Amino acid sequence: MYQAKAYSAASSTSPLASTKIPRRDPTDTDVQIEILFCGICHSDLHQLRNEWASVMPTVYPLVPGHEIVGRVMKVGSAVAKFKPGDLAAVGCMVDSDGTCPECRAGFEHFCPNLTLTYNFPDHHLGGVTYGGYSESIVVDQRFVLRLPSNLDLAGAAPLLCAGITTYSPLRQHRVTKGKKVGVVGLGGLGHMGVKLARALDAHVVAFTTSPKKKDDALRLGADEVVVSRNSDEMQKHVESFDFILDTVSADHDIDALINLLRREGNLTLVGAPSKPLAISSFSLLMRRRNLSGSNIGGIAETQEMLDFCAQHNITADVEVIPIQKVNEAYQRLLKSDVKYRFSIDMASLKVE
Amino acid sequence: MYQAKAYSAASSTSPLASTKIPRRDPTDTDVQIEILFCGICHSDLHQLRNEWASVMPTVYPLVPGHEIVGRVMKVGSAVAKFKPGDLAAVGCMVDSDGTCPECRAGFEHFCPNLTLTYNFPDHHLGGVTYGGYSESIVVDQRFVLRLPSNLDLAGAAPLLCAGITTYSPLRQHRVTKGKKVGVVGLGGLGHMGVKLARALDAHVVAFTTSPKKKDDALRLGADEVVVSRNSDEMQKHVESFDFILDTVSADHDIDALINLLRREGNLTLVGAPSKPLAISSFSLLMRRRNLSGSNIGGIAETQEMLDFCAQHNITADVEVIPIQKVNEAYQRLLKSDVKYRFSIDMASLKVE
């Protein structure tokens, strides 16, 4: 065991502050990674504020962060896939049982014995796992991804959550050339959805509530932009979409979006509005449409996504900040004042 | 044009009463059918009371009925598929354009120029179409189904709506041997769902709010019965269903049902609760589950369903009534006091 610099929150109302946390010495199957960049996901903020108390109550001190890229420092004796100096990445999970039907099918994220990257029981050291707002992390090799060397590291970090969360449903629903695909919401997830759907050769329509975002949506790769509050614009697209990726976490009119689907079209939610969704059964009945959810992706699919991004040179649009600005960044995140993801430069932690 | 005996309602608060309605003389492509039995669907009641005013306002006088079986009286010169004396059946629709992508794909029920069996603009006579509470009907041959001769006629009538409405999603979602399938609600639709899912060799679990219906659900073919208000019983089935067919039209806890689905499982609604459904996004996100709707089926699939029912000797459980008891039957329908469908013996109309 060793001590690593990190930023943690002491309670649901505390700011994140400099601290030291224990990390285990690498076991035979572990990879020790120096963290270079860590993205800030909205989940980090929800978890800090204990806003998911009913499903995942927060244990303090909390060290958030599950969009991790870095460089391998040390590997256990049984690790063949990585060597010191390699680029590596870690996403939302760091362990699973590896033997259940979900794991065997490549859905480690649905394993009943899953360990998330932070705020989950730590089977090695006791207590809970600590995330990526830290100078290093030690992770079993099964949960370490290869990071292609051509990607910008700061922009690659958000791929580990925002990237896989949007890539997985686009792939599951066979988004490809000739398909008309909507991406709703132009935030951390949505801007990745637009980039990925475009790279998959779909006809991409971005939906935003803010006319100001039109130009940016086009720049990100959208073929068209619809202001979802403009019912005339919406009407033009009725019954025309094969697939809609809905990344919005706030309460919004999902029925209006479902009605834009053609027969047997699918709208997949990747945001998690806290209020129940109000869905008219008629919207689903009338063209036997489908409403689904999706939640990150398995390890093999995450690697596939990173390789796909490398091939198409896709990273997130990020604003790089030093860790000392993390509390300010959280305040700005609440106002959606970021294009489109904060990425923490972990070199800044060395001066603490 | 000729006059046919029928039962119609003069307003949303009027009882159904004896009347005469115009029917067209058969064109070259028409089939004239003597109606022998007509099922009573809950839609008939909704339409009579104008409860769908916002989507399908009722035009009076209304002649309901879209679960029609009968015998061919006369055919047009271009009709090769039927001859006088043949058994025949008509369901929820009587015309479509035949040329749109939906029609060409076998989804006539989604054709933008669809004509429903009643309360829809009648392109031949003007006014609106009149349904099956009548001694005869004239329908284009494309919308007339062959009725296998081994089926009980009174019990076969409800197959034309309740049968296809439940058969279509069971087939779409590949319900077959080895699949665990739930059927929610044990009414006109639900009891057909149980019979059909059983005939498709699935492991069938019937959900009912009423413990009194347990024995009957087993008799209909359920392998297990769950009282959905009993949370212990529900808990035993968490994350175990491949598919759930939800036939309930009343407000109910759909989240509790979605949570019974395994990864990528599907819950399909065929009932149409008038209040928006309240769905937790987490229920869908967590196992990337799916919520869909389905609404009758195309003509080819309806014929497939009738042939499947003939092969497995499946009909609805019906209470046969004379047309003179139709208003009383509507009152009982409101109290779910029927096992499981009323079927009107149209011979009773001859005495009017």
Q: How many independent structural domains does chain B possess?
A: 2
CA distance A343 to A38: 6
Backbone angles phi, psi at A332, to 5 degrees: -70, -35
Residues A319 and A226 grouped into a single domain:
no
Expressed as residue numbers, the domain containing A254 is: 162-293
Residues B152 and B168 grouped into a single domain:
no
Residues A152 and A31 grouped into a single domain:
yes
Inter-chain touch A279–B276, beta carbons under 8 Å: yes
Query: Which of B293, B317, B341 marks a domain boundary?
Result: B293
Residues A36 and A139 grouped into a single domain:
yes
Please report residues of A whose CB lies closer than 8 A to that of B281: 269, 271-273, 276-277, 293
Upstream peptide bond of B133 is cis (omega within 30 degrees of 0) = no
Residues A72 and A15 grouped into a single domain:
yes
Residues B220 and B101 grouped into a single domain:
no
Residues A153 and A14 grouped into a single domain:
yes
Interface of B with A (CB under 8 A): 55, 102, 107, 110, 169, 172, 255, 263, 266, 269-273, 276-295
Structure-token pair, residue B91: 């369901």
Please report residues of A whose CB lies closer than 8 A to that of B110: 263, 286-287
Q: State whether residue A79 is helix, strand or coil.
A: coil
Q: Alpha helix locations (H) across B49-200?
A: 101-104, 153-156, 162-172, 188-199
Pick from B24, B158, B28: nearest CA to B89 = B158
Q: Can you give the pLDDT at residue A250?
A: 86
Q: Can you give the pLDDT at residue B250?
A: 86
CA distance, residue B347 to nearest chain A CA (Å): 35
Please report residues of A whose CB lies closer than 8 A to that of B172: 288
Inter-chain touch A273–B293, beta carbons under 8 Å: no
pLDDT of residue A76 exceeding 80 = yes
Nearest chain A residue (CA) to B108 = A287
Nearest chain A residue (CA) to B264 = A292
Q: What is the pLDDT of residues B98-122, one digit of tens each?
A: 999 999 999 999 999 999 999 999 9
Please report residues of A whose CB lies closer than 8 A to that of B276: 255, 278-281
DSSP B109: G
Residues B336 and B269 grouped into a single domain:
no
Beta bridge partners of B93: B116
* Residue predicted with more confidence, A246 or B351: A246
Q: Which amino acid is at A22?
A: P
Question: Please, is B331 exposed, middle or buried when counting C-beta atoms within 10 Å of its C-beta (0-12, 13-18, 19+)?
Answer: exposed
Q: Is the pTM of this model over 0.90?
A: yes
Q: What is the pLDDT of residues A252-264, one digit of tens each?
A: 999 999 999 999 9
Q: Can you give the pLDDT at residue A273?
A: 80
Average pLDDT of chain B, as a whole number? 96
Residues A21 and A90 grouped into a single domain:
yes
Band (B274; pLDDT cuts 50, 70, 90) = confident
Query: Which of B293, B309, B342 marks a domain boundary?
Result: B293
Backbone angles phi, psi at A52, to 5 degrees: -110, 35
Q: What is the CATH number of the domain that holds B18?
A: 3.90.180.10
Band (A333; pLDDT cuts 50, 70, 90) = very high
Pick from B266, B159, B260, B250: nearest CA to B205 = B260
Nearest chain A residue (CA) to B106 = A263
Residues B333 and B197 grouped into a single domain:
no
Beta bridge partners of A11: none
Query: Which of A272, A293, A314 marks a domain boundary?
Result: A293
Upstream peptide bond of B340 is cis (omega within 30 degrees of 0) = yes
Of A282, A283, A294, which to mutate for an interface test with B (greatest number of B Cβ within 10 Å)?
A: A282
Please report residues of B whose CB lies closer than 8 A to that of A277: 278-281
Q: What is the CA radius of gyration of chain B?
A: 20
Secondary structure element (H or E) that encloses residue B203, with its range: strand B203-208
Asked if residue A122 lies in contact with residue A65, where contact means CB atoms within 8 angstroms, the answer is no
CA distance, residue A283 to nearest chain B CA (Å): 8
Q: What is the pLDDT of residues A171-181, one digit of tens each?
A: 999 999 999 99
What count of CB pairs under 8 Å joins A to B? Answer: 100
CA distance, residue A235 to nearest chain B CA (Å): 16
Please report residues of A whose CB lies closer than 8 A to that of B108: none
Once rounded to an integer, what is the mean pLDDT over residues A112-123?
A: 97
Residues B241 and B323 grouped into a single domain:
no
What CA–CA distances, in Å, run from A54 to A14, A57, B254?
20, 6, 19
CA distance B350 to B45: 23
Structure-token pair, residue B104: 């060409």
Band (B52; pLDDT cuts 50, 70, 90) = confident
Q: What is the pLDDT of residues B304-348, one digit of tens each?
A: 999 999 999 999 999 999 999 999 999 999 998 999 999 999 999
Q: What is the CATH number of the domain that holds A204?
A: 3.40.50.720
Nearest to B281 among A263, A277, A288 (CB): A277
Residues B145 and B199 grouped into a single domain:
no
Inter-chain touch B169–A288, beta carbons under 8 Å: yes
Interface of A with B (CB under 8 A): 55, 102, 107, 110, 169, 172, 255, 263, 266, 269-273, 276-295
